[in-house]
Copies of this chain bind each other. A is one copy, B any other.
């Protein structure tokens, strides 16, 4: 079986995400941040555990933006992120949750009329936020 042991490293990575729910990080940044905190976790371990967290739906992997490396972000269960859409500004990188009734109905519409199950934990809409559009 996989990942049956609770280790210090896994706890540190999870806690790092939980303490930074609105930010997004590369694996390298996570490893560096933990090293600076005095609780270093090797980059390889970060890559491996982060992949597992993505598969479990606990964090979001973001690849579409400006960053060359993949970014990872905690999925806060209290925010109900799986039922709303998300935006990311192509210029400043800011990330927005779109919790509103109209948009929550988009996925239902797509399923009912187009027979496609959108996964909000894997989808991000890109464009320009108000500030960056001037």
Least distance between A104 CB and chain B CB atoms (Å):
12
Is A133 part of the contact surface with B, judged by Cβ < 8 Å?
yes
Least distance between A102 CB and chain B CB atoms (Å):
6
Measured in the bound complex, the distance between the Cα atoms of B45 and A79 in whole Å is 45
Interface SS, A side: mixed
Closest to A100 in B: B113
Count of A interface residues, CB-CB < 8 Å: 30
Q: In chain A, residues 71-113, which have Cβ atoms closer than 8 Å to a Cβ of chain B?
A: 87, 89-90, 96, 98, 100, 102-103, 106, 109-110, 113
A-B contact pairs, 25 of them (CB 8 A): A63-B63, A63-B64, A64-B124, A87-B110, A87-B116, A87-B118, A89-B116, A90-B119, A96-B114, A102-B113, A103-B109, A110-B125, A115-B129, A115-B130, A116-B127, A116-B128, A116-B130, A117-B128, A117-B133, A118-B125, A119-B126, A119-B127, A119-B128, A123-B124, A125-B125
Q: Which residues of A contact B (CB under 8 A)?
A: 63-64, 87, 89-90, 96, 98, 100, 102-103, 106, 109-110, 113-119, 122-130, 133
